[in-house]
A and B are shown apart, each in its own frame.
Chain A
């Protein structure tokens, strides 16, 4: 039976582009729209984990056996690595700082691009989730290949800066080269993050992006908002921390666009 679960990953090899923030907040917004969500923290920086759990629990889990690193290393079914968050309808597989050595662990494995995809098979068959969102590290190695191979859709958060767009072009060149490994992966869209509307440069970025053909740019862009940092300081998605904040509203709009594109 085909699964009805949509698997989305947030990928950009440029660090600080807003992957973890966007993954965490799109996840929460999806849940607020009534969808069941599984979040997977694919980065050793543990940021997605920290967006939902307190530091003690995140570090404890990172050291334990019940995290993504252990599951991938031993090629286990990921169903056994899921934790509920404090929000009904949102679960998570947490990461480990040991993810830093995942490339070595993958290297000797047969079909090493598909370990994550295989680990998700049962979860997909059960149809327990409407969405699985995967946060990724700022790299483009074998582990990110696993994330791309396990996903149906990819969303790329990008900072409105010249080097942000340069990095985006490098990412597309990479995707082009690996297309034969990920033929089913669809680029759902590019999302502008940390936009500072006081800066005249934002206009230049937006006008450059208008020249993009065949690549969707989400209409909602996420502006700089200190509520994001405060929410992260408090281990909560911004919509829970401060529902009235600008970024909470923007992430909800972005999420509605995501749902529309996935289900269209």
Chain B
């Protein structure tokens, strides 16, 4: 796994043990390792961010 992806997983793990987020109404999944692989991405965030990229990068 690349450094950036490993870092993201580390952040997810840190956040799952402590609730940093404002919207704590979102239930947190249990902090298990295998869980990191299973949870689906946030599709809204993906599409909006990728929209900002020039076409040739997509």
Measured CB to CB, the residues of A under 8 A from B are: 153, 162-163, 165-166, 168-169, 172-173, 175-176, 179, 185-188, 197, 200, 202-206, 208-217, 219, 221, 261, 264
Contact = CB atoms under 8 A, between A and B. Distances in A.
The size bracket of the interface on B is 35 or more
Interface in B9-44: 9-12, 14-22, 26, 28-29, 39, 41-42
Interface of B: 2-12, 14-22, 26, 28-29, 39, 41-42, 45-46, 48-50, 52-54, 57-58
Contacts of A221: 49, 52
B19 to A, nearest CB: 8
B7 A188 contact: no
B11 A215 contact: yes
A215 B14 CA distance: 11
Nearest to B19: A214
Contacts of A219: 45, 48-49
A6 to B, nearest CB: 12
Nearest to B35: A213
B23 to A, nearest CB: 8
Contacts of B46: 210
B4 A165 contact: yes
Among A172, A179, A187, max chain B CB count under 10 A is at: A172
A215 B15 contact: yes
Given A169-B10, A211-B9, A217 B53 contact: no
